[in-house]
Amino acid sequence: MDLASAKMIGAGLACIALVGAGVGIGNVFSALISAVARNPAAQAQVQPFAFLGFALAEATGLFGLAIAFLILFVF
Amino acid sequence: MAIELQPLEQFTIERLIPLHIGRLDISYTNSALLMTIAVVLITALVVLSTRRAALVPGRWQSVAEISYEFVADMVDTNAGHGAREFFPFVFTLFMFILFSNLLGLIPYSFTVTSHIIVTFALAALVFVGVTIVGIVRHGVHFLRLFVPEGVPAVLLVLLVPIELLSYFIRPFTLSIRLFANMLAGHTMLAIFGGFAASVGVFAIFPLGINVLLVGLELLVAALQAYVFAILTCLYLRDALHLH
C-alpha cells in the first residue's frame, strides 16, 4: 500500500471518533427534553448544563476530526 | 476528484513587523495584531459604554451589563461562595476567548485560538493559578483533594493515581478542547469553500452548507468561551472548597 492511500484510509478511520460525539450529543439533548417535559419549571436550571454537556461531548469527537485533518493536510 | 485544497493555509502566522532581540524572535505577527484588536474592542466596550452610565441603559451599556452579569452569575453559582474576588480574572478570560473566536469568523482574518500554543498558555495560566490559590488557602491540606473521603484503603491505591492523573491532565484537555474546536470548524469552512470553487454551477450546495456551518461556528465560538470560563470556575471551586 502506498503512502497516499494509507493516509486516506487513516483519515477515514480517524473520523469514526465522530460516532461517539453524535451518540453523546443525542443523549444530552434527549435527556434535556425528557427532563423539561417532566418538569417544565426546571428548564432554566438544566439548560446551561445541557449546553456544557453538548460542548464537552462535541469536543471529544472533534479531537478525532482534527487528527483526520492533520493526517490529510499536514503530514 | 482532484482539487487543490489548502485548508490549513488560513492558520499561517505572518510577521507584520519583524523584531529581533539577539536570537529571540519577538516579531509583531498577525496573531498579535488580532489579540490587540480583541483587547482594544473589549476595553472600548466596557469603558466607553459605561462612561455616561444611565439608570435606563442604552444599547451598548446593555451589552456591557449583560456580559458582566452573565459572568458574575456564572462565578457565583459554579465557584461557590468566596470566589467573587476571582471574578475579574474569569471575566477577562471569557471576553478574550469570546472576542478572539468571533473575530476569527470574519473572512480573511485570523483565529488566535486556533493555535495550541495560545490556548495552552491560557490553560496553563488557569492551572498554575488555581493550584497556587489552593496551596495558599489550604497549605498541606490541599493534598486532600486527591484523596476521596469515605473510601476503603484498598481502593485508595487505585483512586489516588486516577485523581492525580485527572488533575494534571486538566491544562491539556482544557487547551485541546478549544484548539480542536477552532481548528476543525475553520478547516471545515475552508474545505466546503474549496468544493464550492471547484464544482461550477453546483457551487450553490456547498455554499448553502457553508452558510449553515457559519451559524454553527457562531454557536461554537460562544459556547467554547463559556465552557472554558465555566471549567475555570469549577476548578476554582475544587481549590477553594476541596470537593
Quick one: pLDDT at residue B2? Answer: 44
pLDDT of residue B208: 92
Q: Which residues of A touch B (CB under 8 A)?
A: 48, 51-52, 54-56, 58-59, 62-63, 65-66, 69, 73-74
Q: Is the Cβ pair B176, A63 closer than 8 Å?
A: yes
Indicate if the pLDDT at residue B243 is higher than 80. Answer: no
Cell numbers found for residue A3: 503512502
User: Is a pLDDT exceeding 90 seen at residue B200?
Assistant: no
Kindly list the residues from chain A whose CB atom is less than 8 angstroms away from the CB atom of residue B183: 66, 69
pLDDT band for position B6 (50/70/90)?
Answer: confident
* pLDDT of A34 over the 90 cut: yes
> Per-residue pLDDT averaged across B129-153, rounded?
89
B8 and A56 within 8 Å at the Cβ level: the answer is no
**In chain B, what is the straight-line distance between the N-terminal and C-terminal CA atoms, in Å?**
55
Closest in A54, A55, A69 to B184, CB measured? A69
Whether residue B32 has pLDDT greater than 50: yes
Full-model pTM: 0.87
Chain A: residue whose CA lies nearest to B175:
A59
The three three-digit cell numbers of residue B40, written as one number? 482594544
pLDDT tens per residue across span B80-98? 888 889 999 999 999 999 9
What number of C-beta contacts closer than 8 Å exist between A and B?
43
**pLDDT score, position B213:** 93
Closest by CA position to B34, among listed B127, B132, B90, B108: B108
Contact A65 B224 (CB under 8 A): no
pLDDT mean over B70-86: 89
Q: Which three cell numbers stand for residue B193?
A: 469553500
Most confident among A13-17, B79-83, B191-195 (mean pLDDT): A13-17
CB half-sphere exposure, A74, CA atoms < 13 A? 12
Report which DSSP code applies to A1.
Answer: -
B5: confidence class by pLDDT, cuts 50, 70, 90: low
Ranges of H-type helices in chain B = 30-49, 59-78, 87-104, 116-138, 153-168, 170-198, 204-241
Tell me if residue B158 falls in helix, strand or coil: helix
The whole-number average pLDDT for the span B2-18 is 77
- Grid cell locating B138: 489550604
Give the residue with greater pLDDT, B3 vs B69: B69
B147 CA to chain A: closest CA distance, Å? 26
A58 Cβ neighbours under 8 A, 6+ residues apart: A21, A24, A25, B181, B220
Question: B11-22 pLDDT, tens per residue?
Answer: 888 888 888 888
Check B5 against A58: CB less than 8 A apart. no
Reported as a single tens digit per residue, the pLDDT across B56-69 is 888 888 999 999 99
DSSP structural state of residue B82 = T
Whole-number Å distance between alpha carbons of A13 and A65: 10
Which H or E run includes A52? helix A43-73
Beta-carbon neighbour count of residue B124 at 10 Å?
A: 15
With 60 as the cut, is the pLDDT of residue B3 above it?
no
CA nearest neighbour of B138 among B238, B59, B232: B238
Cross-strand pairs, B15: B29
pLDDT value, residue B198? 83
Q: How far apart are CA B226 and CA B69, in angstroms?
A: 13
Query: Which amino acid belongs to residue B59?
Result: R
Q: B26-30, B78-82, B132-136, B178-182: lowest mean pLDDT where?
A: B78-82
Contact B8 A74 (CB under 8 A): yes
Instruction: Read off the pLDDT of each residue in A31-55 and give the average, rounded to a whole number.
Output: 91
Decide if pLDDT at A1 tops 90: no
Whether B222 has its CB under 8 Å from any CB of chain A: the answer is no
What ipTM did this prediction achieve? 0.77
Buried-state track B62-91, b at ≥16 Cβ within 10 A, e below 16: eebeebeeebeebbeebbeeebeebbebbb
CA atoms within 13 A on the CB side of A13: 7
* Average pLDDT value over all residues in chain B: 89
